[in-house]
Amino acid sequence: MSGGLNVAVLKGGRSLERQVSLASGDRVEEALARLGHAPTGIDVGTDLVPRLAELSPDLVFIALHGRDGEDGSLQELLETLDLPYTGSSPAACARAWDKQVTKELLDAEGIGTPRALSFSETALREFGGSQALARVGEKLGFPVVVKPCRQGSALGVRFASGADELPEALLSAFSYSDRALIEEFIPGRELAVPVFRGVALPVVEARPTEDRFYDFEARYTIGSAVLSCPAELDEETAATARETAERTVELLGLRSFARVDMLLDERDGVPKVLEADAIPGLTDTSLLPQSIEAAGIGFDEFVGQAVEEALAAA
Amino acid sequence: MTLEKQGAGGEGPSPSRDLRRYAALFASRTRVMTSSVMRDLMAITEHPEVISLAGGLPDTASFPPEEMARVMGQVAREDSARALQYGPTNGLASTREAIAQVMEWQGVGVDPGDVLVTTGGQQVIDLVCKALIDPGDVIVAEGPTYPGAVPTFSSYQADVVQVGMDGDGMKVDELEETLARLEAEGRRPKFIYTVPTFQNPAGVTMSLPRRRRLVEIAAERELIVLEDEPYSLLRYEGAPLPTLLELDGGRFVVHAGTFSKMLAPGLRLGWAIAPRPVMEKLVLGAQATTLCPSPFTQLFVSGYMASGQWGGYIDELREIYTGRRDAMLSALEAHFPPAATWTRPQGGLFVWATLPEFIDTTDLLARALAANVAFVPGRAAFVNGDGSSSMRLNFSASDPVTIEEGIRRIGVLVAEQIELYGAITGSFPAIPAQEAGPLADVVELPRRDEERRRQG
């Protein structure tokens, strides 16, 4: 334990995941206090830089989800201010935040990921891109999953079972991001593999109790999804899932902790990576904390190690 | 504290293991008691730069602070011990008399002895569920319904079945069909929940013929009607209509009233009037949950009512809200596209607007929050995912200039969405003005031609 550090815990903010972030931040603060540090929670707003200047922390713990914390802007700012921070670098965050960028890198590396097409608002508004939408069916087949390119927590994610459902699904996705991803539908189990210090933790499986997929509501509500950790997988599949997660994190350059979401394709048994999350949820019901527990690490120890790693990286 | 110390030693129970331990203890009803996504998104509206047309807040700033000080001083001087003491479960006599007087103004003579004072109108909804609902019982409600009632219904594991509305309120013919269908399916409705006057969220008022028919249906089928009536004195035009309680003569109607909108929600004071056998159960339920409503706020209310100031305050609220409603209706006319429709409330706090069906207002809220404006997405008022292209807009909590700006911002976003949808479909269709939808009693607004061309 480093002992007695002055730690700013950034949480809240203006993103759509504000509530989740406040819960994550509170939990981190409690853990830091138990570890003997002096945490100060900061609900991030336009006064962030002056508040950091006033506090002059030894370290910044980023518990800010969504665009505010995960697209790399905040990390860039902290680099400029010479403040050590937890988690990944600005460029790594930016790569993970953009699902299309992630996908291209995964493809190039030969890591399985659902086939997808991406569309920008610009292409549709200014280049007559709507005619290209007609090719979605022949290239991907229906149903497809339509999602914002840059948004966490499954907000704006829709299914389209046919071409007629594409426009509304796209409109939904564009409410959260100026680019949308249209992805082939992969039938299979939903897995999440947290990676901590380059090593994959036990695999978590999320099984929705009612909804068709693990959506925003299910992610943060006790009882609306059944989480099992470690997931009931045969040894080989679990090992493949963990290896896939480790390779993904390394490929994107993510540091310290992250979470890789994937679908276990029931057709070929191969895990297909959906996205990597640079600041995964740290709430009571979040996946990463459950996996940490299953690994026998404990949340406090995790927070302590994340802090030490951030100091070492600075 | 002990836990934290143990945790610091690294040997204490970890928080998420604790969580799992608690999870095994939770009652099955908590599985449906979820915090909604929308509620979480709404957290962003706390920011001061956000124009919130989302809440249902009355304008408490208009209540004179000196008046509050005077009444509180009077309670302290004259009734301190009683104000600080427990009171009777059904409420203090002076408060029940004051409530009987409020009911008198609404045209119903009520014996103060038949009034149950509650902790807000919300408690009446809870108590009625507690008295009537077994898991799986059916509650029939309007669609859209008061979003705040849905979690209460859910927590008693009721099945909520919604009946459509139009400009005259709940469609009672559809209600009859629904009740017949439920009967055929062997399902048992226990009560019909309605906000008949200036409905939350639709803003519409149930017509007199429908009110009469509704109480007849209730009597024929021996069903309770829960009449939730928070807004009736906030009427800005038109003649008052009789309450369901009055029309029914107190046989099958449970009436829920509240001081929240007519005085102040911070008082947390409401009331129930119910047929005697039902009332007995409500009182027992209230005893089990709160023992008694707060004597302190009860004395505040009865003291204030006795001062004779209240009528004047209601008039003032009416004047303020009339201006705000008019500002909202003109702003909608100026800034919403022809494809949108909205209701024109004669009172209350809300307008219900409906957009072209390809626009999902929950997603639109994400864009709206980025533009620092908020509303309640229509889906919050339905249990089955309907209402996805509608929104509830509140006009009581903002001044006219702010309302105009808020509506302008939403209008810009809606126009963008329509244009983007045109780009996606490649058709750039001229979105036709919607046919008068069921909840659009003002679609006949004059429209400027150039506006149509711009939107088309």
More confident residue, A234 or A215: A234
pLDDT band at A14 (very low <50, low <70, confident <90, very high): confident
**Average pLDDT along chain B:** 88
DSSP annotation of A85 reads: B
Interchain contact, A171 vs B423, CB within 8 Å: no
Mean pLDDT value across residues B334-362: 96
Interchain contact, A299 vs B14, CB within 8 Å: yes
The pairing of beta strand A6-11 with beta strand A38-43: parallel
Residue B440 reports pLDDT greater than 80: no
Calculate how close chain B gets to A217, using CA atoms only, in Å.
6
Question: How far is the C-alpha of B377 from the C-alpha of B371, rounded, in Å?
Answer: 16
Residue of chain A whose Cα is closest to the Cα of B30: A223
Interchain contact, B47 vs A33, CB within 8 Å: no
Sequence-distant (≥ 6) Cβ neighbours of residue B75 within 8 angstroms: B83, B296, B299, B300, B303
Q: Which residues pair with A282 in a beta bridge?
A: none
More confident residue, B63 or B26: B63
- Measured N-to-C along each axis, helices B208-221 and B172-184 cross at an angle, to the nearest 10 degrees, of 20
Residue A213 reports pLDDT greater than 90: no
State the sign of the Cα–Cα–Cα–Cα dihedral B105, B109, B113, B118. negative
Single out the residue of A246, A90, A259, A120 nearest to residue A181, CA to CA: A120
Cβ-nearest to A290 among B16, B36, B366 = B16
Calculate how close chain A gets to B335, using CA atoms only, in Å.
20
Interchain contact, A299 vs B36, CB within 8 Å: no
Calculate how close chain A gets to B38, using CA atoms only, in Å.
9
Tell whether A85 lies on the interface with B, counting CB pairs under 8 A. Answer: no
Calculate how close chain A gets to B41, using CA atoms only, in Å.
6
Distances in whole angstroms, Cα of residue B169 to Cα of each of A301, B218, B439: 58, 16, 9
Where do we find the tokens 């409503």?
Answer: B293
pLDDT at A228: 87
Mean pLDDT value across residues B64-79: 96
Q: Residue A210: exposed, middle, or buried by beta-carbon count in 10 A (0-12, 13-18, 19+)?
A: exposed
pLDDT in tens, B278-326: 999 999 999 999 999 999 999 999 999 999 999 999 999 999 999 999 9
Tell whether A298 lies on the interface with B, counting CB pairs under 8 A. Answer: yes
* Size of chain B, expressed as the number of residues it contains: 456
Mean pLDDT value across residues A21-39: 95
Residue A58 reports pLDDT greater than 50: yes
CB–CB contacts below 8 A, A to B = 111
Residue B443 reports pLDDT greater than 90: no
Distances in whole angstroms, Cα of residue A292 to Cα of each of A26, A257, A279: 18, 11, 15
Single out the residue of A22, A134, A298 nearest to residue B9, CA to CA: A298
Three-point CA angle B19, B20, B26, nearest 5°: 85
Residue of chain B whose Cα is closest to the Cα of A215: B37
More confident residue, A19 or A192: A192
pLDDT in tens, B378-395: 988 998 889 999 999 999
Interchain contact, B366 vs A18, CB within 8 Å: no
pLDDT band at B16 (very low <50, low <70, confident <90, very high): very low
Interchain contact, A171 vs B23, CB within 8 Å: no
Contacts of A122 in chain B (CB under 8 A): none
Residue A79 reports pLDDT greater than 90: yes
More confident residue, A151 or B318: B318
Residue A214 reports pLDDT greater than 50: no
pLDDT band at B9 (very low <50, low <70, confident <90, very high): very low
Q: Where are the beta strands (DSSP E) in B121-167?
A: 138-143, 159-166
Mean pLDDT value across residues A212-219: 45
Query: How many CB atoms sit inside 10 A of residue A83's CB?
Result: 18
Question: How far is the C-alpha of A138 from the C-alpha of A140, rounded, in Å?
Answer: 6
**Average pLDDT along chain A:** 90
The structure tokens listed for B126 are 């809870």
Sequence-distant (≥ 6) Cβ neighbours of residue B340 within 8 angstroms: B332, B353, B354, B355, B356, B414, B434
Interchain contact, B14 vs A222, CB within 8 Å: no
Interchain contact, A170 vs B44, CB within 8 Å: no
Single out the residue of A222, A229, A199, A213 nearest to residue A305, CA to CA: A199
Residue B80 reports pLDDT greater than 60: yes
Calculate how close chain B gets to A128, using CA atoms only, in Å.
7
Question: How far is the C-alpha of A254 from the C-alpha of A276, rounded, in Å?
Answer: 9
Interchain contact, B44 vs A16, CB within 8 Å: yes
* Region for B380 from its dihedrals, namely left if φ exceeds 0, alpha if ψ lies in -120 to 50, beta otherwise: alpha
Interchain contact, B363 vs A176, CB within 8 Å: yes
Interchain contact, A18 vs B43, CB within 8 Å: yes
Residue B35 reports pLDDT greater than 60: no
Interchain contact, B366 vs A155, CB within 8 Å: yes
Calculate how close chain A gets to B301, using CA atoms only, in Å.
36
Amino acid at A97: W
A10-14, A77-81, A88-92, range with the lowest pLDDT: A10-14
Interchain contact, B34 vs A301, CB within 8 Å: no
The percentage of chain A sitting over the pLDDT mark of 90, rounded to a whole number, equals 74
CB B16 within 8 A of CB A222: no
pLDDT at B41: 62
pLDDT in tens, A267-302: 999 999 999 999 999 988 788 998 999 999 999 999
Reported pTM = 0.87
Mean pLDDT value across residues B324-341: 97
Mark out chain B residues that contact chain A at CB-CB < 8 A.
Answer: 4, 7-8, 10, 14-17, 19, 23, 26, 30-31, 34-37, 40-41, 43-44, 47, 358-360, 363-364, 366-367, 369, 417, 419-421, 423-426
Calculate how close chain A gets to B29, using CA atoms only, in Å.
11
- Measured N-to-C along each axis, helices B276-290 and B120-132 cross at an angle, to the nearest 10 degrees, of 110
Interchain contact, A16 vs B34, CB within 8 Å: no
- B2, B29, B50, B425: which to substitute to probe chain A, counting the most A Cβ within 10 Å? B425
- A11, A19, A302: which to substitute to probe chain B, counting the most B Cβ within 10 Å? A19
Interchain contact, A34 vs B30, CB within 8 Å: no
Residue A215 reports pLDDT greater than 70: no
Interchain contact, B17 vs A293, CB within 8 Å: yes
pLDDT at B456: 36
pLDDT band at B177 (very low <50, low <70, confident <90, very high): very high
Question: How far is the C-alpha of A45 from the C-alpha of A42, rounded, in Å?
Answer: 9
Contacts of B367 in chain A (CB under 8 A): 175
Contacts of B424 in chain A (CB under 8 A): 124, 130, 133, 166-167, 170-171
A195: three-class secondary structure by DSSP: strand
pLDDT at B333: 98
pLDDT in tens, B96-151: 999 999 999 999 999 999 999 999 999 999 999 999 999 999 999 999 999 999 98
Mean pLDDT value across residues A71-80: 95
pLDDT band at B438 (very low <50, low <70, confident <90, very high): low
Question: How far is the C-alpha of B253 from the C-alpha of B218, rounded, in Å?
Answer: 8
pLDDT band at B271 (very low <50, low <70, confident <90, very high): very high
Interchain contact, B40 vs A166, CB within 8 Å: no
Calculate how close chain B gets to A282, using CA atoms only, in Å.
10
The structure tokens listed for B133 are 């609902």
pLDDT at A100: 94
Residue of chain B whose Cα is closest to the Cα of A158: B363
